[in-house]
Amino acid sequence: MHNLLISGILNQNINLFYFINLGMDNSLLDVLMAFITNFGSLIAWCIVCVLLFVFGGENGKKVAILGLTALFISNVAVFLLKYVIAEPRPFLTLPNVELLVPENEIYSFPSGHSASSFAAATVIGLKYSLNFKGRNYRLLYPLLAFASIIGFSRIYIGVHYPLDVICGAVIGVICALAVLKFENQLFHNKIANSIGLDKILSFDTFSKLKNIFNPVHPDRFD
């Protein structure tokens, strides 16, 4: 019974992959999904966090550090699982897969793009809100929707199974919530301050840039 259940899930996993990768195929989605998938990379989300750190003020610095921490933990988890489970990517094992982007990484489970996207989206989405007509709306749901589109793109372009994306998303959300749960301990402990976290939070990026581009020259003597 147990083996039949697992076999059924895996068969549906393959069937859903084919439905998305081949059954939904059209020229517009080919271009759109190949483009959107780039926003799910670890580098892309690290850039978002850096921009928050530079331009987001004191709160932005904290959110950036929380986001980078969640990204680090989720990607370590993904890396370990990839090499323990060692599941080949669908285009390496299934026939007639439409691969829309070059892919050198051979392991598929879980999806690193999904883990990164959901980790960063959860942290940023829970920390920021949009004021509309006097009411505050958290950015969580729009960002999770965007992360879901990125996850979908990984299946569509042929590099991940649906279960890879689902498990990657779960890993990302769990890591983000764990980081947020221990937020106070992260920012208020002796170890963090000993490595200079308090100095990082008080770092004035704009003042430093101003000093670089507009240095104060000493008085010149005739």
**Taking a C-beta distance cutoff of 8 angstroms, is the pair 179, 120 a contact?**
no
Alpha helices in 37-161, H assignment, sequence order: 42-55, 57-85, 90-93, 112-127, 140-156
**Taking a C-beta distance cutoff of 8 angstroms, is the pair 165, 78 a contact?**
no
Structure tokens given for 43: 């580098």
| Mean per-residue pLDDT of the chain | 87
CA angle 163, 110, 60 (to 5 degrees): 115
What pLDDT does residue 184 have?
83
How much of the chain, in percent, has pLDDT values that exceed 70?
A: 83
What pLDDT does residue 21 have?
95
The one-letter code for the residue type at 192 is A
Q: Which residue has the higher pLDDT, 4 or 27?
A: 27
Residue range 128-168, pLDDT digits in tens: 988 777 788 889 999 999 999 999 999 999 999 999 999 99
The one-letter code for the residue type at 72 is F
What number of H helices and E strands is found in the chain?
A: 12, 2
- Across the range 44-56, mean pLDDT stands at 93
Q: What angle do helix axes 57-85 and 112-127 make, rounded to 10 degrees? A: 160
CATH for 27-200, options being 1.10.150.120, 3.40.50.720, 1.10.606.20, 1.25.40.10:
1.10.606.20
Lowest model confidence (mean pLDDT) among 72-86, 91-105, 129-143, 145-159: 129-143
**Cβ-based neighbour number of residue 14 at 10 Å:** 15
Residue range 127-136, pLDDT digits in tens: 998 877 778 8
Residue range 5-30, pLDDT digits in tens: 888 888 999 999 999 999 999 999 99
Lowest model confidence (mean pLDDT) among 49-53, 60-64, 136-140, 193-197: 193-197
Structure tokens given for 19: 């439905």
Residue range 176-211, pLDDT digits in tens: 999 999 888 777 765 555 555 555 666 665 555 445
Domain parsing of the chain, residue ranges: 27-200
Is it the case that residue 96 has pLDDT exceeding 50?
yes
DSSP bridge partners of 135: 132
CA angle 172, 177, 180 (to 5 degrees): 125
